[in-house]
């Protein structure tokens, strides 16, 4: 016997979680099934809506006013600017005080670990004192054993792009030694627990070492490693000890702000009454009369059937596992939905590593209700897609990743819920 729900969402990234919350909020009995950790663990934790319009390398002040200029196949063109606002409102409710940026429709400018400035719509509270619109002088502090954040270089880059304040970079030693391959989560745990070291505790000694290099800057930025489960306590203690504002600079994978965001969204989904089943993939489906009847999960070699009236496909792009390719073909991985792509594999990539690679926009095509189509033909009446499994946009170039997932997640989830 299949397990039955009103709405079944496949995929536990930001698109699947926002779909599931939106569906549950309509009163539908909603289940989310997900396989592995989502792309949020690699992403920065910043929520971009639209940082750059096509063919324009000037950062957008207002992400919404460029939506009308996007091509018809772009997911924002399918759902419209109001759906983007609704998706962001769902996000704001879900994460509450953990994030900033909802006071304004304009993009904020956040310094990155590479020393560039990124336009983004929502940013973690821990990054807020680092905004580039703030003109207080800034000290960036790198940790010598943590790769991926060279503070003096990031400071030089920020100065070179003309930020309205003085910025310096210093590198200090972390109070505790870890094996060379330890990632930032190990450092964060030591700060969470405030582990003992020779001269005190890690928080005390780290603050002492930073104090020794602090001049008259009024804010200090660290790579995003200041604690995991107790990160606000860690940051507050460093602020109190240093007597200046302390902020985190988003860093590359594994990204603690991204992992914290994933946890917050799971909590919100549970609060909304979503039933969550994780750890195993959906591998197959049965359909009849143009409707998905059930999907099949592979649990340790045996198939478990899940049935619902409406389905949302939120399995991500090539990174998340929603789109797969071999040497000849690209397709969606559960339903075998077609993915438009050049026949010649050499056209999937640009010769210039920084160029426009066709593969970045690979994904399923959808109609205005986000139902996957082949040409114009809707594939399954009761299946909607959300997030990076949808094609037609390049999140990395235009800076729109989480924004597209939230807008399409909101639309797919609420429409699916309302139809039950
Ligand atoms: C390095 C990097 C940095 C980024 N930085 C930013 C940024 O700064 N700002 C921003 O807005 N965006 C950023 N993005 C983009 C953003 O993270 C993604 O666009 C977004 O997270 C995609 O969300 P999603 O829910 O569509 O997919 P995913 O997060 O990929 O989630 C898909 C989920 O589906 C599950 N799944 C897949 N197949 C199955 C199956 N068969 N059965 C069950 N479950 C399945 C996966 O395990 C996964 O949990 C970044 C991305 C990367 C890679």
* pLDDT tens figures, 5-41: 999 999 999 999 999 999 999 999 999 999 999 999 9
| Pocket lining: 314 vs ligand 1, CB cutoff 6 Å | yes
CA of 9 to the centre of ligand 1 (A): 15
Average confidence score pLDDT of the chain: 95
Atom of ligand 1 nearest to the CA of 118: 8
Q: Cβ(324)–Cβ(318) under 8 Å?
A: yes
Give the span between the Cα atoms of 208 and 204, in whole angstroms. 6
Strand partners, 249: 223
pLDDT score of 348: 67
The Cα–Cα gap between 243 and 237 comes to 10
Q: How far is the CA of 292 from the centre of ligand 1 (A)?
A: 24
Tokens 């429709």 label which residue?
105
Q: Please give the distance, rounded to the nearest whole angstrom, from the Cα atom of residue 96 to the centre of ligand 1.
A: 21
**Contact call for residues 349 and 359 (beta carbons, < 8 A):** yes
* Cα dihedral 89→37→124→384 (10° resolution): -20
Strands 30-34 and 3-10: parallel
Which residue among 402, 409, 412 has the greatest number of ligand 1 atoms within 8 angstroms of its CB, and so is best to mutate? 402
Q: Quote the tokens at residue 352.
A: 């210039």
pLDDT tens-digit series, residues 96-112? 999 999 999 999 999 99
pLDDT above 90 coverage of the chain, percent: 88
| Alpha-carbon span 6 to 293, nearest angstrom | 12
Distance 215 CA to ligand 1 centre (A): 40
Secondary structure E strands in 233-338: 245-249, 275-278, 282-288, 291-299, 302-313, 323-325, 330-332
What is the rounded CA–CA span in Å between residue 243 and residue 259? 28
369: left (phi over 0), alpha (psi -120 to 50) or beta: alpha
Atom 40 of ligand 1: nearest residue by CA position: 281
The CB of 310 under 6 Å from ligand 1? The reply is: no
Residue 14 in 3-state DSSP?
A: helix
Domains of the chain: residue spans and CATH: 3-99+258-419 (3.50.50.60), 113-249 (3.40.50)
Listed as own residue / partner, the contacts of 57-60 with beta carbons closer than 8 Å and 24 or more positions apart are 59/107, 59/109, 59/117, 59/119, 60/107, 60/119
Say yes or no to pLDDT of 249 above 80: yes
pLDDT digits (tens, 9 = 90+) for 219-246: 999 999 999 999 999 999 999 999 999 9
Q: Where are the alpha helices (DSSP H) in 198-299?
A: 202-213, 231-242, 256-271
Which among 8, 9, 11 is the best mutation to test ligand 1's pocket, defined by most ligand atoms within 8 Å of the CB? Answer: 11
Contact of 75 with 364, CB cutoff 8 Å: no
Residue matched to tokens 């009236």: 309
CB 42 near ligand 1, within 6 Å: yes
Structure tokens at 219: 């804010």
CA 266 – CA 377 distance, rounded (Å): 34
Q: Is 19 in the pocket of ligand 1 (CB under 6 A)?
A: no
The secondary element (H helix, E strand) that includes residue 329 is none
Measured CA to CA in angstroms, residue 229 lies from 95, 185, 190, 264 at distances of 15, 11, 11, 11
38 lines ligand 1 (CB under 6 A): yes
Name which of 335, 217, 327 is nearest 286 in CA terms: 335
pLDDT at 326 (0 to 100): 83
| Residue 178 scores a pLDDT above 90 | yes
Q: How far is C-alpha 401 from the geometric centre of its chain's CA atoms?
A: 7
Is 319 a pocket residue for ligand 1 (Cβ < 6 Å)?
yes
Q: pTM above the 0.75 mark?
A: yes
Q: What is the mean pLDDT of residues 328-336?
A: 92
Of ligand 1's atoms, which has the minimum distance to the CA of residue 317? 30
Q: d(Cα 365, Cα 412) in Å, to the nearest integer?
A: 14
**Percentage of the chain lying above the pLDDT 70 cut:** 97
Percentages (nearest 5) of helix, strand, coil residues in the chain: 35, 25, 40
Residue with the smallest CA separation from ligand 1 atom 31 is 13
Q: How far is the CA of 13 from the centre of ligand 1 (A)?
A: 5
| Distance in Å, CA 86 to ligand 1 centroid | 20
* Each residue's pLDDT tens digit, 366-393: 999 999 999 999 999 999 999 999 999 9
Angle, helices 401-418/81-95, rounded to nearest 10 degrees: 90
**Dihedral angle over CA of 247, 250, 252, 254, nearest 10:** 70
How many residues are there in the chain? 420
DSSP structural state of residue 47? B
Tell me the best of 94, 316, 363 to mutate to test the pocket of ligand 1, counting ligand atoms within 8 Å of each CB and taking the most. Answer: 316
Question: Which pLDDT score is estimated for 355?
Answer: 64
Distance 319 CA to ligand 1 centre (A): 7
- How far apart CA 37 and CA 39 sit, in angstroms, is 7
Beta-carbon contacts of residue 292 (< 8 Å; ≥ 6 apart): 285, 286, 311, 335, 380, 382, 383
Kindly report the protein residue whose alpha carbon is nearest to atom 12 of ligand 1: 401
State how far the Cα of 288 lies from the Cα of 302, in Å rounded to an integer.
Answer: 23
Q: Is the CB of 201 under 6 A from ligand 1?
A: no
Interatomic CA distance for residues 88 and 132, integer angstroms: 22
């Amino acid at each position: 016997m299949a397990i039955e729900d009103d709405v079944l969402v496949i995929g536990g990234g930001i698109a699947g979680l926002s779909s599931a919350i939106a569906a549950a909020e309509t009163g539908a009995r909603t289940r989310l099934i997900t396989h592995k950790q989502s792309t949020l663990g690699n992403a920065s934790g910043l929520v971009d809506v639209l940082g750059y319009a096509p063919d324009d390398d000037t950062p957008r002040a207002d992400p919404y006013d460029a939506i009308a200029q996007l091509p018809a196949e772009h997911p924002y063109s399918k759902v419209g600017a109001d759906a983007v606002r609704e998706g962001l409102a769902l996000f704001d409710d879900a994460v509450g005080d953990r994030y900033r940026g909802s006071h304004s429709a304009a993009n904020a400018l956040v310094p990155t670990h590479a020393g560039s400035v990124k336009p983004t719509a929502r940013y973690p509270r821990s990054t807020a004192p680092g905004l580039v619109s703030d003109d207080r002088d800034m000290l960036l502090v790198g940790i010598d054993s943590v790769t991926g954040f060279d503070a003096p270089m990031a400071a030089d880059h920020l100065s070179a792009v003309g930020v309205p304040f003085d910025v310096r970079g210093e590198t200090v030693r972390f109070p505790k030694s870890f094996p060379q391959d330890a990632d930032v989560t190990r450092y964060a745990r030591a700060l969470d627990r405030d582990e003992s070291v020779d001269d005190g505790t890690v928080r005390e000694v780290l603050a002492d070492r930073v104090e020794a290099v602090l001049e008259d800057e009024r804010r200090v930025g660290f790579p995003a490693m200041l604690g995991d489960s107790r990160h606000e306590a860690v940051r507050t203690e460093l602020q109190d000890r240093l007597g200046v504002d302390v902020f985190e600079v988003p860093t590359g994978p594994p990204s603690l702000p991204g992992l914290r965001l994933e946890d917050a969204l799971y909590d919100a989904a549970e609060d909304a009454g979503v039933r969550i089943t994780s750890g195993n993939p959906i591998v197959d489906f049965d359909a009849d009369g143009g409707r998905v009847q059930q999907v099949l999960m592979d649990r340790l070699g045996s198939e478990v059937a899940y049935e619902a009236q409406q389905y949302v496909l939120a399995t991500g792009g090539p990174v998340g596992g929603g789109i797969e390719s071999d040497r000849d073909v690209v397709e969606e991985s559960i339903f075998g939905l077609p993915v438009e792509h050049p026949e010649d594999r050499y056209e999937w990539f640009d010769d210039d590593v920084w160029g426009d690679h066709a593969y970045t926009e690979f994904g399923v095509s959808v109609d205005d209700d986000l139902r996957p189509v082949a040409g114009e033909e809707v594939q399954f009446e009761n299946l909607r897609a959300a997030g990076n499994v949808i094609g037609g946009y390049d999140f990395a170039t235009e800076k729109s990743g989480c924004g597209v997932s939230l807008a399409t997640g909101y639309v797919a989830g609420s429409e699916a819920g309302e139809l039950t």
